[in-house]
Structure 1
Amino acid sequence: MKITSIKFYHAQLKLRKPFITSLGFRDHANNIFVEINTNVGLTGWGECSPYPLINGETVDTCFVVGKMLAQRLIGEDPRETAELSALMDKTIYANTSIKSAIDIACHDLAAKSCDEPLYLHLGGKINKKIYTDYTVSINTIEQMVEDAIEVKERGFPVIKVKLGDGGPQDVKRIEAIREAVGNDIGIRIDANQGWKVKEAIATLQAINGANIQYCEEPINKHNYFKLKKVRKSSPIKIMADECLHDHYDARKLVKGDHVDYFNIKLGKSSGLVKAQKIIQEAEAANIAMQIGGFLESRILFTANCHLAHTSDLVKHYDFDSALFHETDPVIGGMEYQHDWEIRIPESPGLGLEVDRKFLDKCKSLEIN
């Protein structure tokens, strides 16, 4: 099997409400859908959601770099996923977001060629249930409380709360939210690098009574070596996010005993090849993991679900972003159940297609 063409689509998806973190405000998801075609008639799908402040990419850079990568990959066998990942790295440094979209599409093709679902192709098995959390954006205390109550009323098992724009105010936010939703629903928090070290320690100690599951990336990613200090002083577990891109980062974090948990995102890791290497590092150190994303559609989160079924140590799931979109152009793939369990089809590969009418409206670039 050989790659005959790679097509990139700018999929702009309006959000139902603004998504606000300590890193900024977004009212649209500007994603890249990738379609890879082959000489045997199989098509693979991938996706990324480039984010300048995390992976240093935009839609424009994805089109430019995507063209470079596609020109190198035409004629290659998409089933050789590890070799293609290495080839992309030899073509250009970083650009993990667009590489991940291509990587996912190649894995979709590899599994389809074996007529098996992706999780099985990756060596996984379905022996657990996956439930997503739902995120509350940074806002006024009153608005965040209202949003948290809505999340609970919709039946989500866990509320993820965005923080990081001021420790004392964040303490008030969490206290108000916990009082409003009660103690029978989980809360996890994400500061998105928003606190200084002392501020992080003080804030985490102050909200200890709120029964918080864990905190993602409390301080700036460049200060990852200071996470151990935060961790040792915090009564709340610490999860690496922005400072964890690939397996090399995982090794540094393990060696330094810096964090309790890992948060894997395919857009940071360059795709499934390196994500599996992170999982291997985590399993060797007995570190539990979360898999999450940026603002992708169900293409990416279907790949996430398949990956989650490859390790018993993947225990947390941040798979809510596809619910933020006003439109859903994905046909098939992962499905949200009424209780927010997520199930994936047993069909080959990712088990999905994309609405051609939607794609026809997207800016596109095809390399063949």
Structure 2
Amino acid sequence: MHAAAHEDPVVPKIARYAVVPVSLPDEDPEWKFAGQAYPHWDACIVALVAEDGTIGWGYAAAFTHLGATNAAVESVLHRLAAPLVGRDALAIEGNLRLVDKGIRGNAPAKSGIDCALHDLAARLLGVPLHRLFGGRVRDAIPVCRMLALKDPDGMATQARARIDEGFRCLKLKVGGDVAEDVARVRAVRRAVGPEVRLTLDPNMSFRAKDAIAFVARVAEYGVEMIEQPVRETDLDGLALVTRTVPIAVEADESAHSPESTFALAAHRVVDAVSLKVTKMGGLRNVFAAARICEAAQLGCRMGATVGSRLLTAHAVQLCAALPNLGFPSEVAEFLHVMDDPFEGLEVRDGAVWISDEVGCGVRLRPEIAWRI
């Protein structure tokens, strides 16, 4: 008898790709934070299509505060996605190494490719995306909702609306004027009562000593954390705030990669890190940064994922597998974004619940007729 001929397993290949620019209006045309206004949310949807027709979806947010525009992101996505055609659809690491070599920087565009590769692999394997990162360790992600920068009364109105929706943690955008910002915090605390958790985000609008003075003046309102009070390059100032104030200090813009997260951890510059898929260039880098935080005993959470449910779905699937999230995450901001081409995600009792659907857990709406 002859031994049966060995047959190599069929390797699923990436057959083609598509890039679809979108501009999703915000329900509040005056939505803004310090230095930036976002009446609409620009992005490019990335589709990587396997030979059997399976589609992996990614979302490349064109945030201007990260130096991105839709036209630039679209151009880079075509440059990065084209070399992936014909490659093994399950070889995520090898494919991302090729993407990293394709162009320097460009984290928003690379994040879209990264997410599409992970989504495609999960769909081909028939598993929820969180299985690619070790499987889920929680059923739901407690949510922190953002309050856009407005006058004190406007922010108090926003705060009451979020509490009426069932959320119990809020992040206030503040603008860098100590007196005005104290008035904002006071108004929100009076509007929501003593039980709601509050954090602050100046978006780098303070100098270190002003940030310290501001925290001292709002201490009576039970604020738990301040995010990125000084500019991203002022690590000495960031460390000074961390050493001086009694509440937690979180890095956002200063923690833009695993490498920068490592530097913050090694020098104990902050107490916590805001993880973001777009800022860090995708799920792989966020996972690495989260592990650095875990090893260094730094707090971490998923920062704002503003845009389509598609962006949030990837962030939520990764959150499901991260054991060291220590604070509510900003994973419900899609609720104020209109004309979303994707559907899915369950928000209940102030939390986003983890989907066990195959892939990232959201679907293209049936009425959307893109040619992919």
- TM-score relative to the length of structure 1: 0.93
Work out whether residues 164 and 218 of structure 1, in 8 Å CA contact, stay in contact via their aligned partners in 2: no
Identify the residue that residue 353 of structure 1 maps to in structure 2.
363
Query: What residue ranges of structure 1 are gaps of 5+ in the alignment?
Result: none
Work out whether residues 302 and 330 of structure 2, in 8 Å CA contact, stay in contact via their aligned partners in 1: yes
- Matched residues in 2 for 1:134 and 1:118: separation? 24
Identify the residue that residue 312 of structure 2 maps to in structure 1.
301
Report the AA paired with residue 168 of structure 1. Answer: A
SS at match of 2:31: strand
Alignment match of 1:340 (pick from 350, 355, 363): 350
- State the Cα deviation string for residues 172-217 of structure 1 (Å, max 9, x = none): 1112211222101111111111111111111011111111121111
Are 2:60 and 1:48 aligned? yes
Offset, 1:359: 5.2
Report the AA paired with residue 321 of structure 2. Answer: T
Of the two structures, which has the highest relative contact order with CA contacts closer than 8 Å and spacing of 6 or more?
A: 1
Identify the residue that residue 7 of structure 2 maps to in structure 1.
none
Identify the residue that residue 246 of structure 1 maps to in structure 2.
257
Offset, 1:74: 1.4
Work out whether residues 287 and 313 of structure 1, in 8 Å CA contact, stay in contact via their aligned partners in 2: no
Offset, 1:73: 1.5
Identify the residue that residue 329 of structure 1 maps to in structure 2.
341
Identify the residue that residue 280 of structure 2 maps to in structure 1.
269
- Matched residues in 2 for 1:81 and 1:164: separation? 40
Change (3 A) 1:76 1:31: same
- TM-score relative to the length of structure 2: 0.92
In our comparison, the structure showing a higher alpha carbon Rg is: 2
Change (3 A) 1:175 1:224: same
Identify the residue that residue 22 of structure 1 maps to in structure 2.
34
- CA-atom RMSD in angstroms: 1.6
- Matched residues in 1 for 2:204 and 2:311: separation? 24
- Matched residues in 2 for 1:350 and 1:128: separation? 15
Are 2:56 and 1:38 aligned? no
Query: What residue ranges of structure 2 are gaps of 5+ in the alignment?
Result: 1-11
- Matched residues in 1 for 2:367 and 2:105: separation? 33
Offset, 1:249: 0.5
Offset, 1:41: 2.2
- Matched residues in 2 for 1:293 and 1:149: separation? 20
Work out whether residues 305 and 330 of structure 2, in 8 Å CA contact, stay in contact via their aligned partners in 1: no
Offset, 1:347: 2.0
Change (3 A) 1:359 1:92: farther
- Matched residues in 1 for 2:257 and 2:106: separation? 13
Offset, 1:154: 2.0
Identify the residue that residue 120 of structure 2 maps to in structure 1.
109
Work out whether residues 267 and 293 of structure 1, in 8 Å CA contact, stay in contact via their aligned partners in 2: no
Change (3 A) 1:174 1:86: same
SS at match of 1:112: helix
